[in-house]
Chains A and B, each alone.
Chain A
């Protein structure tokens, strides 16, 4: 389409096409300028075309609107699902971390220089320990206030050697193993795995004294706690 060369009439032509108002100045110009007349005709058609766009067949939205009002917000579902998944992931990660993360392994020198008074007492040799921290001779009753030294998820039949720090620390000390009583703690045979006593407490856990490395045939959770002094046989 040929563009109008008369810039000053552009707006007037559009107004005239849309509103039908034809100023005398524009009327005279359209009589003289063929390009503007063509533009006016085209834009008049456009105005008619715009007006014809009013013709529509409208659907009744009421049923759909009420249906949406009675059902829960769809937008919230993915948000809630995402939040739930996030929380679940955090919980799982936390559980895995607390179960698998070994006690920070310290060097031999560091292990020999305990930080807290409790730790200092824990690595003392049994005979050096004060009487109030020592269990009754022959008893496996753990001393109160024990800190979890290590918690392991033992795969079936796999040997879990103590860390170097634990070997050092537990060479002269007792370690009490708490585990589900459904599975017996078995010695590996040769290794230094003392499970002579497995008394069961009221909480459904068994205790065993552990020294060195060993394994639990059925697998399971193994929590090593610092226990009361071990009476050397």
Chain B
């Protein structure tokens, strides 16, 4: 990140520079949003390989579409929307559920420090949550991940889903109910 010192923190400026062909600016944007995009893909797809594919495809699409980016929403929201669309498409095509073990593996490797007993409980809990997520449709899963994992606001979710805030709220309420039911069935 030392090379990023001269890079502006102003995201719209970075986007303009990246659109003009400045790869350093694009690097900064990627570094800034790589983790949320990967996390969204991982929680949606349940597979590291698929999540990496979606992450790369997202930034590939973003780079190619930078000149069309109007800046109505933030770059982060735009990139999220690309990733979300790719995840939903991938899930629909594959018509599969996330693999159950990946949440635990990912969690275990993410922070190996701490009390082993607490880690075990957390891993078990994460596995159960991921299983409940797997019971949902791609769209419902996306809403739950955006709200409760990514902890985005209703406004941001509405921007990503390209719908009104009211619609986002009602869809999230339904998805939450379905998730709660799925979780309680576990």
Contact = CB atoms under 8 A, between A and B. Distances in A.
B30 A14 contact: no
B110 A57 contact: yes
Interface string B102-130: 01001101110000000000100110111
A109 B56 CA distance: 74
Contact of A56 (B63, B106, B122, B128): B106
Interface on chain A toward B: helix, strand, loop, or mixed SS?
A: helix
B22 interface: no
B135 to A, nearest CB: 13
Interface hub of A45, A51, A54, A68 (most chain B Cβ within 10 A) = A54
Nearest to B181: A3
Interface hub of A10, A49, A66, A68 (most chain B Cβ within 10 A) = A49
A46 B111 contact: no
Contact of B125 (A14, A18, A52, A56): A52
Contacts of B151: 51, 54
A65 B126 contact: no
Contacts of A110: none
**Could you say which interface size class chain B belongs to?**
35 or more
Contacts of B148: 18, 47, 50-51
B149 interface: yes
A90 B130 CA distance: 53
Contact of B149 (A1, A54, A62): A54
A53 B43 CA distance: 7
Contacts of B149: 50-51, 53-54
Contact of B59 (A39, A53, A56, A61): A61
B158 to A, nearest CB: 19
Contacts of A68: 56, 60
A62 B30 contact: yes
A47 B183 CA distance: 11
Contact of B183 (A42, A53, A66): A42
Interface stretch (B3-11, B31-39, B84-92, B159-167): B31-39
Interface of B: 23, 27, 30-31, 34-35, 38-39, 42-43, 52, 55-56, 59-60, 63-64, 103, 106-107, 109-111, 122, 125-126, 128-130, 132, 144-145, 148-151, 173, 176-177, 179-180, 183-186
